[in-house]
Amino acid sequence: MARALTWTCRSFADLPMTAREADAHPDLPLAGCRVVERSRSVSAAYAGRLLAAMGARVTMLEPEGGTELRRAPPRLNGGTGESALFAYLAAGKRSVVCDLRATAGTG
């Protein structure tokens, strides 16, 4: 059953920033929707972030060792921490390491 998306956000700061915060807001327009993010591009990661901010449960599939975005500059903590870009784009999402080339478990 389709429902109309009538939702108003006062400012970007009002949006949930973590996956747990998004789960705590069942009134968001995409609450209950599940999204699997499989791309490695910045634009797809940003789209996933926006979907998560609107209440969707977004799960990133990352290769072993993490996505390249984790190592992108600029880095937090004086250049020794994770990527600031990744921290921003991954806000509100869950992450799963998955080897899509593996044949184990495919039957």
pLDDT in tens, the chain (107 residues): 444 444 444 444 555 556 666 566 778 899 889 999 988 899 999 999 999 988 899 999 998 888 889 889 988 888 888 899 999 999 889 998 887 777 766 65
Q: Which residues contact 78 (CB under 8 A, 6 or more apart)?
A: none
Rounded to an integer, what distance in angstroms lies between the CA atom of residue 82 and that of residue 29? 31
Global pTM value: 0.72
